[in-house]
Amino acid sequence: MNQENEQNVLVNNNAAIPEVSSQDTVPVQNAAQSQQVSNESTGIEFVPVGDNTAIPEVPSAPEQNIVENTNQESPVESTQTNQEAEVPSLVAKPNEYNVENVTVTEEEQKINAYIGANHQKIVHKRWNWSAFFLGGFYYFYRRMNIQGLILLILNTVILYYYPLALLILFILCGLFTNKLYVNYAKSRINKIEKQNMDAGLPAILLLCEKDGGTSSGMLFVAIVLQAFISFGFTKVINNPDFSKLFDSLKDLSSQVGDKLENENNDFNEDSILIPEGDKIYDGDVSMVGEPHLEQVFNISLPAEFVDESFTNVMYFPRYIDGTEQMACLLEIYEPSKVTSGEATIKQMRNYHAPDFPLKKITINNIDWIMYEDDTYGISYVHGVTLNNKPYIMTYQVFNTDYKDMCISNKDTVINGVSVK
């Protein structure tokens, strides 16, 4: 047999050679194993001639594709993985709003679109560091202008009167700004939807993004506003006319409060009768000489006051600009020619301040009858009868620079009076 006949002879020369894939082929080790290859899978029959017979190559199946690599990723799976990686996500990319993303509801997409940057932190976290440090400025930056203006005014007032209270305001901003902003965003979105009822979701998202988000311009406006508010507040608060008006409003508020309190008080002043033989009050009260009140009353004074007590009168002056001026005065004395402290107080009220009601208050288990008089500053006049002796207690506040201090200490001074 010649050399050509010594080669492998192909049977079915006219049969079509199918394309061989990596899944349909197995590695061919030697000529002996090639005899076991079924012609049912390939349609090709190999006839061995000798041990050293060479195995012909299949043209349509390259050698590198015949050997299967079990660790190689499927081309189909690789393509699917790359496609999934390219799908935009609202969570990963807050500025992309994919309406086909089934993991995010339409409402969430609208809120994300309105908030814009950092929407995940604002929606899902409670604490907001930016709001804590910036306060009202952050609200302007987030286009909540009305809320921001209120905070700027509060900043100015609190800084003037109670600087340490600013920390409380900043903490409240840090705690509640996110929730407040999300609710604000929902209300704005509802308004946008009502004004654009025929618009689809993509258009609504664009409108939300335009209406919400952040604004560096409004942040600049907030800075200018804060400067004007601080300057204007300082000018107004230091104006003497405003101080008088403010004091008048405080006095009016106090009078209205006392009137309302008296309406709810079951005290009947008609039950107070003037005893026979008592002196009728004519604008002047004479005192019993040296009654030694320290034997009757205990008095505890606030640290701000100076005790310059006399036998029957206890004074608490203040020294203003190097000059002794009376700012607050507490007097306790026993009136002469009368036997009822309550009846004396009623006559004094009828004479000096008929428009003010009589009230009954309890101080350290003692029931006093009292009224207020604003004829000379503010006077709180009390009367009581103890052991058949009348006593009058007056706390008077004069119109000085210490007026507010005296008023704020009124309850402390009066409650410091007790009977031994």
Residue 345 sits in a domain whose CATH number is: 3.40.1000
- Contact between 317 and 323 (Cβ < 8 Å): no
- At 333 the three-state DSSP class reads strand
Upper half-sphere CA count for residue 144 (Cβ side, 13 Å): 24
Buried b (16+ CB within 10 A) or exposed e, 162-194: eeeeeeebbeebbeebbebbbebbeebbeebee
Cα(138)–Cα(223) distance, integer angstroms: 11
Picking from 26, 49, 72, the residue at the C-terminal end of a domain is 72
- 131 lies in the same domain as 226: yes
- Contact between 229 and 321 (Cβ < 8 Å): no
- 160 lies in the same domain as 22: no
Identify the pLDDT of residue 300: 78
Residue 230 lies in a domain: yes
Q: What's phi and psi for 333, nearest 5 deg?
A: -150, 165
Residue 187 lies in a domain: yes
- 232 lies in the same domain as 130: yes
Range of the domain at 38: 1-72
For the chain, list residues with pLDDT below 50. 1-42, 44-53, 55, 58, 60-102, 309-315, 319
Cα(145)–Cα(221) distance, integer angstroms: 10
Identify the pLDDT of residue 7: 42
- 222 lies in the same domain as 275: no
- Supply 289's token pair: 């000489």
Residue 409 lies in a domain: yes
Tokens 């660790």 appear where?
71
Residue 400 lies in a domain: yes
| Domain count along the chain | 3
Tokens 């008080």 appear where?
265
- 355 lies in the same domain as 286: yes
- 339 lies in the same domain as 220: no
- 275 lies in the same domain as 410: yes
- 277 lies in the same domain as 408: yes
Identify the pLDDT of residue 220: 95
Q: With the C-alpha atoms ordered 357, 360, 363, 366, is the resulting torsion angle positive or negative? A: positive
Identify the pLDDT of residue 236: 82
Q: With the C-alpha atoms ordered 254, 256, 257, 262, is the resulting torsion angle positive or negative? A: positive
- 117 lies in the same domain as 68: no
- 62 lies in the same domain as 146: no
- 136 lies in the same domain as 59: no
- Supply 247's token pair: 């004091």
- 279 lies in the same domain as 411: yes
- At 251 the three-state DSSP class reads helix
Other C-beta atoms within 10 Å of 226: how many? 21
Identify the pLDDT of residue 210: 93
Identify the pLDDT of residue 408: 82
